[in-house]
Structure 1
Amino acid sequence: MQKIRSVPPAPEAFCPRGVSMRFLLTTVAALCLAGSVHAQSIDVPAGTYVADPLHTNVLWKVKHFGLSTYIGRFSTISATLELNSEDPAQSSLTATIDPASVDTNYPADDKDFDAEIASDMFLNAAKFPEITFVSKSIELTGENTGTVTGDLTLNGQTREETLDVTFNTALNPHPMSQKPVVGFSGAMTVDRTEYGIEALAGPVAAEVLLEIEAEFVPQS
């Protein structure tokens, strides 16, 4: 859906003998308008789509003493996209993450770091077993970009947050599954202290970047 920009030759180079320049320019303008309209739609059937767990990831990134960015992920994610393919701004999204599925890839054996992050020190997964995001509005900001504003519930507290989204592409059909598939990338920055997660705030940054890569397939 991204346009490739180049410097075209002079219009006369494309104007066959006997075809007026006015007709040519009108035709070009109509084609450009049609392309612009198409860029605001998605070439798959409308309906209910769900995140493909084999091709969906949520990473979290947080600054560690200002030295580096510590990266973890969640292993258990589900999401449902009610897709309006003709008018994507009228779509809706709900997503759920199991905070106990946190994966830090901690290489040492001195502690269970996954369990520490999932504990009441941070994510409090035993008391609040779901992190959820429910969209309230979608705004298209470009040919393949948009923002999704919704309610994020984390550690039992709900706040409005905005997810920046890039529409990557749609395949209809996918060459392997023979089903329509749409792919998105997203990013959201949250202040964990606003959700009551204050442990080590300072040495470990309050701001956490969430990065999402997701492929959606039709609900079975």
Structure 2
Amino acid sequence: MLFRRFAAVLAVAAVAGLAALQPAKAEPRQYKMDPDHFAIVFMVHHLGLADTVGMFREASGSFTYDAAAQTISDVKITVQTDSVFTNHEARDSHLRGTDFLNVQEFPTMTFTADKAEVTGENTGKIHGQLTLLGKTRPLTLDVTFKGARKYPFGDGHYAIGVSARGTIERSDYGMTYAVENDIVGDEVHLIIEFEGIRQPKEG
């Protein structure tokens, strides 16, 4: 099964999978999130009427993948919390404040991957940890491997494409503003889309 060979890398943020297009004796290689091809989107219910949609515009991520052993290590995705954007200036300012992301005290949130499991030919689950507002909680992402190829233009780098979905309850991280009266939903739905770029060998 194609995904069985890609599942481990699907941890990057999301995150990621790769093996079928790698030689069996390949050495461990580092991958980095393409800063020009990623999206980290969230949706939160508002007043029981509709979802408010936003995104984070600044993030970085990297991991090491051993194709021969099909293992992944050093996985970390870092999101700059002050890059939050919902296309509404007053709301974005509120989100950056102490009621929500508290970006002055916690300028980043991070996701690290623990393990992956296969659920289909090109799908799986990534089990990791999300650190937000100084608290670390488990986060499972449903992931889909979208493809892998060498770029046909530009620098010709080798890249993989991944989609990931997940849900957190923001109150688990101490973000309780407007939860009790259900003005702002507790559940936050995450949508992550990105390309990972294989890095040149060291030395």
Q: Report the counterpart of residue 168 of structure 2 in structure 1.
A: 190
**Partner of residue 86, structure 2:** 104
Q: 1:118 aligns with which of 70, 82, 96?
A: 96
Tell me which residue corresponds to 2:140.
162
| SS class of match (1:43) | coil
Paired position in structure 2 for 1:12: none
More strand by share: 2
1:69-218 alignment, distance < 5 Å:
69-86=51-68, 88=70, 90-92=71-73, 93-106=75-88, 112-171=90-149, 173-176=150-153, 177-201=155-179, 202-218=182-198
Distance 2:2 2:141 in 1: 24
Moved over 6 A (4+): none
Report deviation, 1:112: 2.7
1:113 Cα offset (Å): 2.1
Q: Is the CA contact (8 Å cut-off) linking 1:81 and 1:216 kept in structure 2? A: no
Contact map agreement 2:164 2:192 (CA 8 A) in 1: yes
Paired residue secondary structure (1:117): helix
d(CA) in 1 for partners of 2:105, 2:67: 38
Residues 183 and 216 of structure 1 are in contact (CA less than 8 Å); yes or no, is this contact kept in structure 2?
A: yes
Retained in 1: the 8 A contact 2:2–2:121? no
The alpha-carbon deviation at position 54 of structure 1 amounts to 0.7
Cα separation, 1, equivalents of 2:128 and 2:107? 20
* Structure with the higher helix share, 1 or 2: 1
- What is the TM-score normalised by the length of structure 2? 0.82
Gaps of 5+ in 1: 1-35
Equivalenced residues, count: 179
Cα RMSD for the two superposed structures:
1.8
- Structure possessing the higher radius of gyration over alpha carbons: 1
SS in 1 for 2:36: helix
* CA distance 1:38–1:145, shift in 2 (3 Å): closer
How far apart, in 1, do the equivalents of 2:3 and 2:126 lie?
A: 21
Q: Name the structure, 1 or 2, with higher relative contact order (CA <8 Å, separation 6+).
A: 2
How much has 1:178 moved relative to structure 2? 1.2
Post-superposition offset of 1:78: 0.4
